[in-house]
Amino acid sequence: MAPHVIDLVSSSPPLPPLSRPAEPAASSTATDQGRNKHRLSRSPELFISSDFDVLDDELLGQSTINAKRLRISTSPPPRPAADPPRTAQPPFLSTVSNRPNHLEFDPIEFTSSIDPDTPKAQQNTISHSATGAAAARPHVTKQTAQAPLHISLSSDPFASSPPLAPITNAKERPKRSEKPENCARTIHDEFADAFASSPLPPLPPPSRESHKPQEQATAVHTIVDVDEFSDPFVSSQDVNLHPPTKVPTPRRAVSVEVVDHSRKRKHWDPISSSAPEETLRVSPPKKTLAESKSARPTVISIDSDSADTSGDEFPDIADFNLSRARPRPRSPIRRSQSDIISSRSRRPGSAATATAKTAEQRARDRDAQAAAKAAEKERKRQEKEQLKEAKALEKERAAALAEVNKVRTDKKVSTPEMILVMPSGVAEGLRVQLGTLLDGLSVEHTTWNSPVANAFKWRRKVNSRFDEEAGRWEPIPPRIMPENHALVLLTAEEFVGLAVSDAVDSSVSETKRHFPGHELIYILEGITPWMRKNRNLRNRRFAAGVRAQDQAAAPEAASASSRRRRNNATAEEYISESIIEDAMLQLQVEHEVLIHHTAAPLETAQWIVAFTQHISTIPYKKLREKLTSSAGFCMESGQVRTGDDARDTYVRMLQEIARVTAPIAYGIVSEFDTVSKLVMGLEQGGPLRLESVRKSANKDGAVSDRTVGQAVSRRIHRVFTGKDEMSTDV
Amino acid sequence: MEDSECANAQFLAWVKEWLDIARERNSKGVTAYRNAYESLKACPIAFEHPASLQQLKGFGPKLCERLEDKLKQYCQQNGLPMPEHPQVRKANERAQQEGGDAEARPKKKTRQPKAYVPAFRSGAYALILGLSHLPEDVSSSLTKTELIEAAQPHCDASFTTPVDTTKFYTAWSSMKTLVQKELVYERGRPLRRYALTDEGWAVAKRIKETAQWQDENRSNMQQGSNLRQQPPSITVEDEGLMPNVYEAVTTADEPSIYKNIVSDGPVVLEDEDLPTFTPIILSPGSFTVHLLLDVREVRAKTDRDYMQEELVKQGVKPIMRSLEVGDVQWIAKCHDPSLLSRHGAEGDEIVLDWIVERKRLDDLIGSIKDGRFHEQKFRLNRAGVKKVVYLIEEISMDSAAYQRYEEAVQSAIASTQVVNGYFVKRTQKIDDTIKYLAKLTAMLKRTYEKKQLLVIPTKVITAQNYSRLIQHLREKEPSVGYYVTYPAFASLASKSETMTLRDIFLKMLMTTKGLTGERALEIQRRWKTPHDFVKAFHACGTDEQGKKRKKELVCSDLSHLIGRKKISRPLSHKIAEVWGDA
Same domain, A618 and A653: no
CA–CA separation, A4 and A676 (whole Å): 71
- A481-484 contacts at long range (C-beta below 8 A, 24 or more positions apart): A482/A457, A482/A458, A483/A418, A483/A457, A483/A458, A483/A459, A483/A615, A484/A517, A484/A518, A484/A519
Chain A residue with CA closest to B205: the answer is A546
pLDDT band of B572, cuts 50, 70, 90: very high
Which run of H or E residues covers position A523? strand A519-525
Q: Mean per-residue pLDDT for A502-515?
A: 91
Whether residue B534 and residue A674 make contact (CB cut-off 8 A), yes or no, is no
Same domain, A449 and A417: yes
Report pLDDT for A606. Answer: 93
Whether residue B529 and residue A519 make contact (CB cut-off 8 A), yes or no, is no
Closest CA to A621 of A481, A466, A480: A466
Which residue, of B199, B223, B247, is where some domain finishes?
A: B223
Same domain, B295 and B405: yes
Whether the predicted pLDDT of A520 surpasses 60: yes
- Kindly tell me the sign of the dihedral angle through the C-alpha atoms of A247, A253, A256, A261: negative
> Residue B71 maps to which CATH number?
1.10.150.110
CB nearest to B371's CB, from A519, A543, A638: A638
**Which segment, A175-184, A406-415, A490-499, A720-729, is predicted with the most confidence on average?**
A490-499
Whether residue B112 is contained in a domain is answered as: no
Same domain, B394 and B478: yes
Same domain, B290 and B334: yes
pLDDT band of A693, cuts 50, 70, 90: confident
Helix (H, G, I), strand (E, B) or coil at A525: strand
Chain A residue with CA closest to B376: the answer is A634
pLDDT band of A440, cuts 50, 70, 90: very high
Same domain, A677 and A712: yes
The one-letter amino acid code at B270 reads E
- Strand B387-393 to B423-427 pairing: parallel
Closest CA to A62 of A116, A126, A117, A18: A117
Question: Which residues from A are below 8 Å from B444, CB to CB?
Answer: 589
How many Cβ pairs within 8 Å bridge chains A and B?
Answer: 248
**Cis-peptide, bond into residue B190, ω within 30° of zero:** yes
> Residue B505 maps to which CATH number?
1.10.150
Same domain, A593 and A681: no
Question: Taking a C-beta distance cutoff of 8 angstroms, is the pair B513, B504 a contact?
Answer: no
HSE (CB half, 13 Å, CA atoms) of A599? 4
Whether residue B33 is contained in a domain is answered as: yes
Which run of H or E residues covers position B360? strand B349-360
Whether residue B136 is contained in a domain is answered as: yes
> Residue B277 maps to which CATH number?
3.40.50.10130
Which of A218-227, A367-376, A509-518 shows the lowest per-residue confidence on average (mean pLDDT)?
A218-227
Whether residue A339 is contained in a domain is answered as: no
Report pLDDT for B101. Answer: 52
Same domain, B461 and B508: no
Same domain, A599 and A661: no
The ipTM (two decimal places) reads 0.71
Query: Phi/psi of residue B294, each to 5°?
Result: -70, 140
Greater confidence (B214 vs A461) lies with A461
Whether residue B206 and residue A550 make contact (CB cut-off 8 A), yes or no, is yes
CA dihedral (A691, A697, A702, A707) in degrees, to 10, reads -10
- Give the 3-state DSSP-derived string for A468-503, with helices as H, strands as E and coil as C: CCCCEEEEEEEEEEEEEEEEEEEEHHHHHHHHHCCC
Closest CA to A119 of A156, A146, A150: A156
Whether residue A541 and residue B414 make contact (CB cut-off 8 A), yes or no, is no
Chain A residue with CA closest to B500: the answer is A728
pLDDT band of B218, cuts 50, 70, 90: low
CA dihedral (A545, A550, A551, A553) in degrees, to 10, reads 140
Whether residue A631 and residue B517 make contact (CB cut-off 8 A), yes or no, is yes
Q: pLDDT over 90 for what percent of chain B?
A: 19
Whether the predicted pLDDT of A646 surpasses 80: yes
Which residue, of B82, B103, B132, is where some domain finishes?
A: B82
CB nearest to B501's CB, from A586, A630, A725: A725
Greater confidence (A559 vs A707) lies with A707
Q: pLDDT over 70 for what percent of chain A?
A: 48
Report pLDDT for A587. Answer: 92
Same domain, A531 and A670: no
Helix (H, G, I), strand (E, B) or coil at A47: coil
User: For A177-216, b where at least 16 C-beta lie within 10 A, e where not — what string?
Assistant: beebebbbebbbebbebbbebbebbeebeeebeebbeebb
Whether residue B418 and residue A586 make contact (CB cut-off 8 A), yes or no, is no
Question: Taking a C-beta distance cutoff of 8 angstroms, is the pair B300, B165 a contact?
Answer: yes
Whether residue A137 is contained in a domain is answered as: no
Mention every residue, 6+ apart, whose C-beta is less than 8 A from residue B64. B50, B51, B53, B54
Q: What angle do CA A350, A351, A354 make, to 5 degrees?
A: 90
Whether residue B163 is contained in a domain is answered as: yes
Range of the structural domain that residue B142 is part of: 123-223
Same domain, B34 and B177: no
Whether residue B503 and residue A632 make contact (CB cut-off 8 A), yes or no, is yes
- Kindly tell me the sign of the dihedral angle through the C-alpha atoms of A604, A605, A608, A614: negative
pLDDT band of A356, cuts 50, 70, 90: low
* Overall number of domains in chain A: 2
This prediction has a pTM of: 0.60
CA-to-CA separations, A157 to A2, A111, A209, A212, in angstroms, rounded: 14, 22, 14, 12
Report pLDDT for B467. Answer: 79
Same domain, A618 and A706: no
Report pLDDT for B301. Answer: 67
Whether the predicted pLDDT of A618 surpasses 80: yes
* Overall number of domains in chain B: 4
CA–CA separation, A717 and A708 (whole Å): 12
Whether residue B321 is contained in a domain is answered as: yes
For residue range B168-179, list pLDDT tens digits in order. 888 898 898 888
Whether residue A684 is contained in a domain is answered as: yes
> How many other CB atoms sit within 10 Å of the CB of residue B518?
18
Same domain, A583 and A677: no
Same domain, B129 and B172: yes
> Residue A453 maps to which CATH number?
3.40.50.10130
Same domain, B418 and B463: yes
CA–CA separation, B19 and B562 (whole Å): 60
**CA distance, residue B394 to nearest chain A CA (Å):** 13
> Residue A675 maps to which CATH number?
1.10.150.670
Mention every residue, 6+ apart, whose C-beta is less than 8 A from residue A478. A108, A111, A112, A461, A462, A463
- Give the 3-state DSSP-derived string for B250-266, with helices as H, strands as E and coil as C: HHCCCCCCCHHHCECCC
Whether residue A538 is contained in a domain is answered as: yes
- Give the 3-state DSSP-derived string for A624-693, with helices as H, strands as E and coil as C: HHHHCCCCCCCCCCCCCCCCCCHHHHHHHHHHCCCCCCHHHHHHHHHHCCCHHHHHHHHHHHCCCCCCCC
Whether the predicted pLDDT of A193 surpasses 60: no
Whether residue A594 and residue B508 make contact (CB cut-off 8 A), yes or no, is no
Assess B115–A contact: CB distance below 8 Å, yes or no. yes
Longest dimension (CA), chain B: 109
CB nearest to B564's CB, from A405, A615, A656: A405
- Kindly tell me the sign of the dihedral angle through the C-alpha atoms of B69, B74, B76, B77: positive
Burial class of B567 by CB neighbour count within 10 A (0 to 12, 13 to 18, 19+): buried
Q: Mean per-residue pLDDT for A174-197?
A: 43
Query: Phi/psi of residue A78, each to 5°?
Result: -60, -30
Whether residue A524 is contained in a domain is answered as: yes
Same domain, A415 and A452: yes
Mention every residue, 6+ apart, whose C-beta is less than 8 A from residue A403. A104, A107, A475
CA–CA separation, A708 and A688 (whole Å): 10
Same domain, A620 and A717: no
Whether residue B143 is contained in a domain is answered as: yes
Same domain, B75 and B9: yes
Report pLDDT for B537. Answer: 92
Query: Phi/psi of residue B281, each to 5°?
Result: -105, 125
Q: Mean per-residue pLDDT for B155-181?
A: 83
Distance of CA B460 to the CA centre of its chain: 37
Distance of CA A367 to the CA centre of its chain: 43
Range of the structural domain that residue A682 is part of: 646-721
Same domain, A613 and A653: no
Same domain, B311 and B350: yes
Whether residue A299 is contained in a domain is answered as: no
Interaxial angle between packed helices A675-685 and B530-538, expressed in degrees from 0 to 180 and rounded to the nearest 10: 110
Same domain, A622 and A681: no
**Which segment, A272-286, B80-94, B216-230, is predicted with the most confidence on average?**
B80-94
- Strand A472-491 to A519-525 pairing: parallel
Report helix, strand and coil shares of chain B as percent, to nearest 5: 55, 10, 35
Whether residue B272 is contained in a domain is answered as: yes
Same domain, B362 and B470: yes
**CA distance, residue B508 to nearest chain A CA (Å):** 5
Whether the predicted pLDDT of A452 surpasses 70: yes
CB nearest to B117's CB, from A470, A546, A638: A546
CA–CA separation, A682 and A684 (whole Å): 5
Closest CA to A314 of A248, A376, A360, A371: A371
CB nearest to B578's CB, from A578, A638, A675: A675
Closest CA to B581 of A672, A717, A687, A695: A672
Q: Mean per-residue pLDDT for A188-212?
A: 43
